[in-house]
């Protein structure tokens, strides 16, 4: 089995997790390739025993599975590297909350062994595709959300929104979040949006600090085309795709639709979304108990 490893940060406290991971992969005779920048970080830890690995320097790589070592930000980064390759991604959480990277470091040896033995399932997660002038530097897909946000001003922005060519609303707000089911537990949740199960065929439109009590988060089908146009006093606004952002001029038309590919997420057979909500958000916990 060929395993591709991706990471963005490394600290000494991750050393035991990484050593367990490498020991398990080596024991199973896995062929390992690793992102170049992450390899450079690991090589600085003299206490880490590294197996033989090839280096990933660009997107011309192949693997049976990708491991994302870090938090959800690292998982989103790994998704940009995997892109259309249909390589399933396993997130190993060495960060904080970890909704996408939900395999804890303490579970690395046992759960990874089960996965290498073939005891796992793969969930397909939809992405948003973004079309606009001036975003050539961005990977134009989002696994979590696309956010339209004000910039360099305390003033609100106006976001004219159409759905399948039908005018829907002009949001007067600090911004607007269009989230996937995966992203419904991220930025959109903090803006008051609902939580969607990962398999839902929907998007969430959640305004950020709207200037109206009559404007609330909305759930729409994921087969619609959403068009946005911004006007603002400063003449510019920020477009963010999973935290990767670019500044655009007011009046620029932005089109959002479902991406033509999905990201595959590896989960253990015993993993459920209900468990994730309970463990990560303390869902339904009653302090009176």
**Per-residue model confidence as pLDDT tens digits over 152-194:** 778 899 999 999 999 999 999 999 999 999 999 999 999 999 9
Give the pLDDT confidence of 236-254 residue by residue, as tens digits.
999 999 999 999 999 999 9
Q: What is the pLDDT of residue 277?
A: 86
Catalytic residue among 58, 64, 72, 242: 72
Residue 110 phi/psi, 5-degree rounding, is: -70, -50
Residue 135: closest CA among 254, 249, 246: 246
Residue 251 phi/psi, 5-degree rounding, is: 95, -15
Please list the residue range(s) of the chain that carry CATH number 3.40.50.10330. Answer: 2-126+262-281
| CA separation for the pair 56, 161 (Å, rounded) | 41
3-state SS, one letter per residue, for 141-165: EECCEEEEECCCCCCCEEEEEEECC
Find out whether 126 and 259 touch, Cβ atoms under 8 Å: yes
Q: What is the pLDDT of residue 154?
A: 82
Q: Residue 125, Cα to own-chain centre: how many angstroms? A: 10
Q: Write down the mean pLDDT value for the chain.
A: 92
pTM of the model: 0.92
CATH 3.40.50.12780, applies to 2-126+262-281: no
The model's confidence at residue 208, banded by pLDDT at 50, 70 and 90, is: very high
Find out whether 33 and 104 touch, Cβ atoms under 8 Å: no
Tokens of 255: 């089109």
CATH 3.30.950.10, applies to 128-258: no
| CA separation for the pair 122, 134 (Å, rounded) | 35
Give the pLDDT confidence of 31-53 residue by residue, as tens digits.
999 999 999 999 999 899 999 99
Residue 24: closest CA among 92, 79, 100: 92
Find out whether 141 and 82 touch, Cβ atoms under 8 Å: no
| CA separation for the pair 213, 108 (Å, rounded) | 46
| CA separation for the pair 105, 148 (Å, rounded) | 35
Which residue carries 């639709």 as its tokens?
A: 257
Find out whether 168 and 159 touch, Cβ atoms under 8 Å: no
Find out whether 161 and 176 touch, Cβ atoms under 8 Å: yes
Please list the residue range(s) of the chain that carry CATH number 2.60.200.30. Answer: 128-258
Q: What crossing angle do the helices spanning 15-27 and 108-116 adopt, rounded to 10°?
A: 30
Annotated active-site residue 152? The verdict is no
Element counts in the chain: helices (H) and strands (E): 6, 20
Residue 154, Cβ neighbours under 10 Å: how many? 7
């Amino acid at each position: 089995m060929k395993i591709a490893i991706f990471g963005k940060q490394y600290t000494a406290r991750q050393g035991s997790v990484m050593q367990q991971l490498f020991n398990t992969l080596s024991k199973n005779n896995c062929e390992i390739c690793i992102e170049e920048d992450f390899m450079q970080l690991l090589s600085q830890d003299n206490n880490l025993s590294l197996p033989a690995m090839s280096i990933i320097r660009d997107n011309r790589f192949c693997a049976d599975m990708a491991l994302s070592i870090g938090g959800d930000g690292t998982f989103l980064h790994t998704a940009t590297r995997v892109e259309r390759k249909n390589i399933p991604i396993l997130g190993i959480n060495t960060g904080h909350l970890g909704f996408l990277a939900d395999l804890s470091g303490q579970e690395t040896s046992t759960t990874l062994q089960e996965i290498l033995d073939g005891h796992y399932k793969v969930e397909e997660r939809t992405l948003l595709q973004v079309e606009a002038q001036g975003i050539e530097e961005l990977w134009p897909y989002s696994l979590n959300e696309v956010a339209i946000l004000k910039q360099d001003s305390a003033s609100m922005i106006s976001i004219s929104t159409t759905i399948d060519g039908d005018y829907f609303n002009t949001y007067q707000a600090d911004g607007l979040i269009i989230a996937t089911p995966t992203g419904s537990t991220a930025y959109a949740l903090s803006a008051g949006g609902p939580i969607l199960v990962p398999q839902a065929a929907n998007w969430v439109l959640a305004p950020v600090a709207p200037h109206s009590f009559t404007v609330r988060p909305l759930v729409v089908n994921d087969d619609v085309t959403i068009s946005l146009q911004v006007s603002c006093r400063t003449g510019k606004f920020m477009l963010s795709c999973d935290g990767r952002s670019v500044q655009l001029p007011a009046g620029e038309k932005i089109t959002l639709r479902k991406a033509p590919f999905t990201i595959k997420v590896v989960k253990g057979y015993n993993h459920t979304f209900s468990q994730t909500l309970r463990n990560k958000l303390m869902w339904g916990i009653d302090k009176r108990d």
